[in-house]
Chain A
Amino acid sequence: MSVRNIIVDSSVVVKWLSADNEDYLTQADKLLFEVEKEKVRLYAPELAKYEVTNALLKGKKLPKTVVEEALSVLHSLPIQYMLETLELAQIAYGIGKELNITYYDASFMALAYSLNAVLVTDNIKHQKQTKNVKVVNLKDY
């Protein structure tokens, strides 16, 4: 059986670090289980690390005494973080223009396009399905 490539949006990655008022934790855990069983591979742009860490800093305002373990989990998750290339930047810019979404939202879609992968997101309002990028709502995973 072939292994499916999945891009996880930062709105999904945070589910593995915080349960506070978060929806669809079961679906997020299912994703990790499928990685363990080598059914899927997870990818995200390097940007995800910055967004998630900023959410811990400014959103959750985790005290310094516990943040070390949260960061350790973030950096040990089985996600392949991909650096941006000129090609990815051009694709993301085009998607951002076409869908009138932020470059941040589009960069995850561009990676999905580039790796012929599915984007799983809890931000379905902005990351819409297009002809070239398959987007799945975490709720439906």
Chain B
Amino acid sequence: MKLSPSAWVGFVMLAVYVIVGVLGPIIAPYDLARTHVELAHQFEASSAAHWLGTDASGRDTLSQLLWGARSALELSAIVVAISSVIGLGLGTIAGWFGGWVDELVMRLVDILMAFPGILLNIAIVATVAHPGVGLTIGALCANGWVGYARVARGQVLALRERDYVTAAVALGASNRRVMRRHLIPNLMGPAMVQMSFGLGAVIIVEASLSFLGIGPQVDYTWGAMLDQARNFLWNTSWVRVYAVVPGLAITWVVLGANLLGDGLRDRLDPRQRGKR
């Protein structure tokens, strides 16, 4: 596929994120599950033993970053997968059948859009004292599907007027067949744009939850690292590395996702193409 250079940059950035996320815990210099808290080594500067220094408990920053990549990747991949399947499915059904089905789905979308997303996520996550990964995923999917549903519905409303769809219906194709063979394959393009932007959003929201202390209770997340760092800003200068590095990791993923999303959208929308 022909993509703009900036879209390729975004693609490569996301590829790096996926590779680091998969390999992270394996290539991490320290097994964090086995390291002990050593206050004597608190906030050490960069050294051969700790490339990016250490945190408030004397643990290796680089290792935490790599473990954080794994948890971010797992969570974002699952959330994007679940929300896109639910959203695309509901949106396609709403757009194809119209009538009360459409009305029902769109009113639900209205309700979820009448409220800032992150507050809903917080409300769900805060229901238990120590949210697990499952609850966090559920919270992010609870309103994550809305964007996909809107995209799918809009596409289906346009597609249903196309000749090949009319022809399929005239030939007696069932609703299921039309949706599976003709509608869904043709809305995958815009869906991918939404997935790309969605990925960036998931990373930010998950990190925000961890930052507020209500994130998933897994060992290391970038948001939790940022949360820890801000309490020590007054400390030595090497704290600042700890305060910046996880933020740069988040920036990397979100920037990559936005660049790729922009590029895909420009590619799909010919009206926008000349304007880049």
> Do A and B form a real pair?
no
